[in-house]
Structure 1
């Protein structure tokens, strides 16, 4: 994490915020990553879903701090912790240790990055008790794979890195802002980052199948792990995001 945020944080920080019935978002501190010699700030967001039996499903955990842990515990017992791709694991071990009764779901390759954690495969059919309540689809693009989800009750699509919607006005460094704009990470239309778009060139069919599934779900809103979410016009935003990527990835 960076000590001085390079991206104006979404408020409130590290508190569950209602999105719809039985679903919350948590804005987390930014993480930083290196690209072309620059340090790029990346805001984070966790999603919490309460299942019909009262248990909680946590997607892409943010920083595990005492006040947030207490707030989450007040919502219900944690049953599942989800790592939607092999890059979203920074805080995974902390949450797994804090809630040893929870099953941790992840893709192949995560076990090597987070030793000591027992993973349940996220890319295989599962008998987890959230099956049928939360739909999932694996978008496998070679070295990059991500699982996208639909919370059926609220018709909310949950996407991690396949769609990013950084707000240019929140990026404090002008050079970083320009780089992110050139890379396509800034809105108002969310889209995959340039790295993912380049990887997808060799996996056009898999990307197309993933986009078709997201559209077939007909979501009403989209929660993004990075940047501004969409409360409406979800299918339009998906079409915009992958329409441009689609011109690069269609056979």
Structure 2
């Protein structure tokens, strides 16, 4: 079942409110209408309720339609505003639109009868925008998932290369370790030579650690960010990586 549209009519002329209310009731299938004729009642209703649409006259006692717009944005930000006026100028209409009015209707019998269509159009436009935003969020989410899936698929290809790259420093570590053990066993390795062997082991271990850290960084899932890119640094790092 479709939820009834909640409308607040703001007008200090009872006859005009009755005319607008009758047009809305006759033209909309499900609508709940409340009325305000002053600043105090407007504030009370905005503080107590949420509305889908607020239809306000431009000329009111104690405030004008532009002030109503500001109050609505402050207290019922999601409500769509339609302004009615029989005396508004083009400048007023432009200012109202700048402040977020959804539509602007001339206040006479002919145009009042078009209020239901105006309300429907405004709400359809809001629904379409929400759907667009939701679709955009979904698109970004799918792109992020696809990007991550692409990164994961590349991991398999890089794993073989990583194993090959790791084999070299690991062989160095193994070779120097065996040599040191043999020399220690034979007790004929001078301390300086042992220190040199240990330094080679440290370097090889460091190279292996860098390879592992780069693979982990590649596999980590994160949101893409636009950052300044240094092409020279990227080329230099790529050369260093291949040199391992």
Q: Same fold (TM over 0.5)?
A: no
More helix by share: 2
> TM-score, structure 1 length as denominator?
0.24
More strand by share: 1
> TM-score, structure 2 length as denominator?
0.25
Rg larger for: 2
